[in-house]
Chain A
């Protein structure tokens, strides 16, 4: 039986995916390097050594940080350059995906997606390593759709806006950032939490790519062509 091949991902989606993957990778590595400079997180407007920290982060090891040996200046250079890449590529992707109707077609969460019975069935299907609805194999399943929506519309905007709130210059330009997050040190804590959510998503995403057949999945994100599983 000849395998059915469909065109799964548009060029804009593929280009953004890889730019974003690179940016996330460098931002997390350099961000963990920056965290090592003062690994304490606070809630509120201020927070320093004599103030109460809600958590003391571990020192991130050299195999996780950019650069490997502690260098706050170079970590910041990487971080601040790729912060622009992350922000502007997400903005461009969002505009294009509204125009080419990728969001409306593929990421719109419908009432039936979030029904308890449907979600439960989707969890069971995932546990059985069935990721595609045989009736509509080109569509994202409900959990996939919800996790993409959570990352694209919540976690990434949150990590970008909390990052902007850390800039003393942006706090003068857009003081509402501080009101939104409850102060610079709260924004710093939320920035770290949003990063952890994105890192967790990335780990699960990579695991599922492997389980769903990494060759086929990787090819579809490179060329767009995806073989429908029999």
Chain B
């Protein structure tokens, strides 16, 4: 009996260790990593491309919305922008666009605004509900005249990870989704530094690390190759997070 139990638990232990060994093999790794594409294809087949993330009432909001990732970029350049209350901050919109733009907060305020109370889901498992406001990314891209060759939108940020600016990217389905906004306000106030002042992305059908904070530049590209390590974001490049974070 004892021996059998030892065998059983020993076998389970070997299987667990085996999982760590087989995932090192390129073939196994590429199959397991295909899960991301399979989930994306299934979810997009199951739902309308404009299906809305659930929205909530003010009474359903988190009493306190925690910060995560960078709490303050802390670079001299960011500190100077912050000291000037972001009056000198500009968002560059460039890449595969007909008319590159340089937008101040006041310029962003002149686009039609969307306000939404949505749930922010961290990859680690926690959720917080807050209110966000800003122009639709789709409207900004239309103003810049997105070219037909553009496939992805890349977001570059003021905060540094490993010495390089944090970056993220999404495809055009999410870029033109009605709830994808460039938020300058949170809970009816200007975005604070901990939550990404002066501007952050909200891409409501994906996990928190896609919602790039401290936005400096929005670039339309045909391919993610050649940007960072080519996998579409800081976490994707460095720790194998899924690029499509809808699950």
Given known contacts A25-B15, A48-B66, A172 and B205 CB-to-CB distance under 8 angstroms: yes
Q: CB distance B32 to A169 under 8 Å?
A: no
Cβ–Cβ < 8 Å partners of B17 in chain A: 68
Q: CB distance A66 to B47 under 8 Å?
A: no
Which of B75-83, B107-115, B125-133, B191-199 contacts the other chain? B125-133
Cβ–Cβ < 8 Å partners of A206 in chain B: 8
Cβ–Cβ < 8 Å partners of A166 in chain B: 121, 247
Number of A residues with CB within 8 Å of any CB on chain B: 49
- A positions within 8 Å CB-CB of B: 25-26, 29, 34-35, 37-38, 40, 45-51, 63-68, 71-74, 76-78, 80-81, 83-84, 166-175, 178, 184-185, 188, 206, 210, 214
Cβ–Cβ < 8 Å partners of A47 in chain B: 126-127
The answer, yes or no, to whether B52 is at the interface (CB within 8 Å) is yes
Number of B residues with CB within 8 Å of any CB on chain A: 56
CA A174 to CA B127, docked complex, whole Å? 18
Residue of A nearest to B48 (CB): A173
Cβ–Cβ < 8 Å partners of B239 in chain A: 71-73
Interface centre among B34, B52, B121 (most CB of A within 10 A): B121
- B162 to chain A minimum Cβ distance, whole angstroms, is 16
Q: CB distance B23 to A78 under 8 Å?
A: yes
- B positions within 8 Å CB-CB of A: 1, 4, 8, 12-13, 15-17, 19-20, 23, 31-36, 38-40, 43, 46-47, 51-54, 56, 60-66, 119, 121-129, 204-207, 235, 239-242, 246-247
Q: CB distance B121 to A184 under 8 Å?
A: yes
CA A69 to CA B127, docked complex, whole Å? 25
Given known contacts A66-B20, A172-B205, A49 and B119 CB-to-CB distance under 8 angstroms: no
Cβ–Cβ < 8 Å partners of A38 in chain B: 122, 124-126
Q: CB distance A48 to B241 under 8 Å?
A: no
Q: CB distance A51 to B62 under 8 Å?
A: yes
Q: CB distance A80 to B19 under 8 Å?
A: no
Given known contacts A51-B62, A66-B20, A77 and B33 CB-to-CB distance under 8 angstroms: yes
Task: Out of B4, B16, B43, B127, name the residue touching A46 (CB < 8 Å).
Answer: B127
Cβ–Cβ < 8 Å partners of A35 in chain B: 125
